[in-house]
Structure 1
Amino acid sequence: MSDLDRHRIIRDLLKERPFASVRDLQKLLGVSAATVRRDIDKLHEIGVVRKVYGGISANDGYAYAERASARPYNENRDIAVEAKQAIAKVAERLVTDGDSIIVHAGSTCYYLGVRLARRNLRIYTNSMPLASYLGEHGTCHLVIAGGELHREPGIIHSATPSQPSFFASKFFLGTQGISSDGALESHPLLVKVIRELSECADEIVLLADSRKFSLKPRHAVLPLSRISTLVTDEGISDKNAQMIENAGIRLMIAQTAGEE
């Protein structure tokens, strides 16, 4: 297999997932780790991908991120599943039995909620898919937001101006994008709901796979100063990791299944 063939395969892979480890690429290409690292260095040098710790990540503005930004919830839930499940597994460790928590709508939060279904917790959610799952499979104390169902983006919300009568130790939420301005969203209803729920929790924990740093929705929902913890995958660049740490946010890195 030629260098060009390997580079094409790597670029095609990053259209479907945010990160690939050296080990992932060894298995896919059938070559040595040294060859994979040379390929990574070359692709990084010409600017089509980003070299990150342990592997390679889709570059800012790459086609994968562009397509993901416009997908509806039901499709987005099935993108980057490996990274989202790894993030949910790490986030689960932040929850203690007996806690009262808010789990927001969104695909990564859905995977977290599934993991928490049978824990001794009080969970408030505005996610219709998650509420349905917890109602059928969970044993946790479930509190569901009141109001109308908005099928896209899949949340329950009341048009009456009021905050839920629920106070949480932690508010877990996803985001459409991340920048120095904070968590970003494009859907006006999500902007409103997230700001309301952020007033009902001591801590805000952001769950976001590394591709979210490539997406730039138009609305800044929460500043970085309001976020206490970010859980992401190993595809995060050194530059973005430094931005998060400089903002005083605890950074937790989830290892995908390709890493031991």
Structure 2
Amino acid sequence: MNQEERLISILNYLELHKTINIKQICEKFNVSRDTARRDIVNLTNQNLVTRTYGGIAIPSFHKQIEDYQERLQIEPFSKNLLGKAAANMINDSDLVYLDISTMVNFIPQYLESKEVTVVTNSIDCVYELVQSDKATIHILGGIVNKSSRHVSGYSAIEKLSDFNFNKVFIGTAGITEDGIYYGFEEDIYFKRELIKNANHVILLADYTKFNKHHKYKGLPYSSIHTIITDKTLPDNLNKVISKNGIEIKVVNKE
């Protein structure tokens, strides 16, 4: 089956099932993940489908997806690059935590060849990780937040004390000279407890978060070891971050 025939078949499948992910394309059409991704890009560029986390959907169905899923489409190219760079920091046998950040949720697709143990409260992270035969997955318990697709509550925070993470990957709603900001009060308490159990804390933040305040100041720079971003930091942020000895990784888009 050539690509044109395969694309037609994918569209026919979507008419019946509304969505399809990369793993399903690989299995249904006996192609590699790289080929499946090229098919997705081809259909997306023709405006025949809309990207979702881990796959594609027909446009009419995608309109029903919650705000969190829509945020995955903001700067998707940069988020994908940052996710790949973050995944490259993860080694076999690592115990890692993956945050509910839309940016962090691009990491799991690059972990399929690594024998890692992942703890998360993100439903989308779990969805992507179950497609890997090598990853061991722990999902924190609690109440399901349908709009942001994660599990929250006291039991989720309490369970964090059971782990000693090699690496923790978190996102942010904003970065200023004062520190790291979040949009919800619950986030700051969860993050503060999380970093107590981490050997290395990695913050993923694209340029849209630079010098952006939000409702709650969650973490000081002393909590962060590495920042992965897609553009050179503004001078004011670079100065304070360098002063705190934080490693800065700027992902090359070329």
Q: Same fold (TM over 0.5)?
A: yes
Instruction: Quote how far apart the aligned CAs of 1:159 are.
Output: 2.9
Contact 2:143 2:151 in 1 (8 A): yes
The structure 2 residue matched to 1:216, chosen from 213, 218, 222, is 213
Equivalent position of 1:81 in the other structure: 76
Distance in 1 between the 2:180 and 2:68 partners? 18
Instruction: Quote how far apart the aligned CAs of 1:204 are.
Output: 0.8
1:114 aligns with 2:114: no
3-state DSSP of counterpart to 2:210: helix
Instruction: Quote how far apart the aligned CAs of 1:74 are.
Output: 1.1
Equivalent position of 1:188 in the other structure: 185
1:246 aligns with 2:251: no
Distance in 2 between the 1:138 and 1:187 partners? 34
Structure 2 counterpart of 1:113, which letter?
P
1:132 aligns with 2:110: no
**Count of residues in correspondence between the two structures:** 187
Unaligned runs of 5+ in 1: 1-70
Give CA deviations for 1:187-230 in whole Å, capped at 9, x if unaligned: 12222221221112111100010110142102111100110000
Distance in 2 between the 1:102 and 1:154 partners? 16
In structure 2, relative to structure 1, the CA distance for the partners of 1:182 and 1:149 (3 Å cut) is same
1:255 aligns with 2:225: no
Name the % identity.
25
Give CA deviations for 1:156-199 in whole Å, capped at 9, x if unaligned: 12334624222211110010101122210021222222122111
In structure 2, relative to structure 1, the CA distance for the partners of 1:78 and 1:247 (3 Å cut) is same
Question: After the TM superposition, which of the residue ranges 211-220 and 234-243 deviates more from structure 2?
Answer: 234-243
Distance in 2 between the 1:138 and 1:253 partners? 31
The structure 1 residue matched to 2:158, chosen from 162, 167, 177, is 162
Contact 1:163 1:196 in 2 (8 A): no
Distance in 2 between the 1:133 and 1:218 partners? 30
Distance in 2 between the 1:210 and 1:236 partners? 8
3-state DSSP of counterpart to 1:172: strand
Contact 1:88 1:111 in 2 (8 A): yes
Instruction: Quote how far apart the aligned CAs of 1:73 are.
Output: 1.8
Q: Say what the alpha-carbon RMSD is for the aligned residues.
A: 1.8
Question: After the TM superposition, which of the residue ranges 136-145 and 81-90 deviates more from structure 2?
Answer: 136-145
Where does 1:8-157 land on structure 2 (aligned, <5 Å)?
Answer: 72-157=67-152
Instruction: Quote how far apart the aligned CAs of 1:141 are.
Output: 0.7
- Which structure has the higher relative contact order (CA within 8 Å, separation 6+)? 1
Instruction: Quote how far apart the aligned CAs of 1:153 are.
Output: 2.7
Instruction: Quote how far apart the aligned CAs of 1:137 are.
Output: 4.2
Instruction: Quote how far apart the aligned CAs of 1:138 are.
Output: 4.9
3-state DSSP of counterpart to 1:85: helix
Question: After the TM superposition, which of the residue ranges 159-168 and 73-82 deviates more from structure 2?
Answer: 159-168
Distance in 2 between the 1:240 and 1:138 partners? 40
Unaligned runs of 5+ in 2: 1-65
Distance in 1 between the 2:80 and 2:187 partners? 22
Give CA deviations for 1:43-97 in whole Å, capped at 9, x if unaligned: xxxxxxxxxxxxxxxxxxxxxxxxxxxx932111111111111111221222111
Contact 1:182 1:224 in 2 (8 A): yes
Distance in 2 between the 1:132 and 1:242 partners? 39
Distance in 2 between the 1:143 and 1:163 partners? 11
Structure 2 counterpart of 1:202, which letter?
N
Contact 1:180 1:224 in 2 (8 A): no
Structure 1 counterpart of 2:191, which letter?
I
In structure 2, relative to structure 1, the CA distance for the partners of 1:138 and 1:185 (3 Å cut) is farther
Question: After the TM superposition, which of the residue ranges 240-249 and 158-167 deviates more from structure 2?
Answer: 158-167
Contact 2:111 2:132 in 1 (8 A): no
Equivalent position of 1:54 in the other structure: none
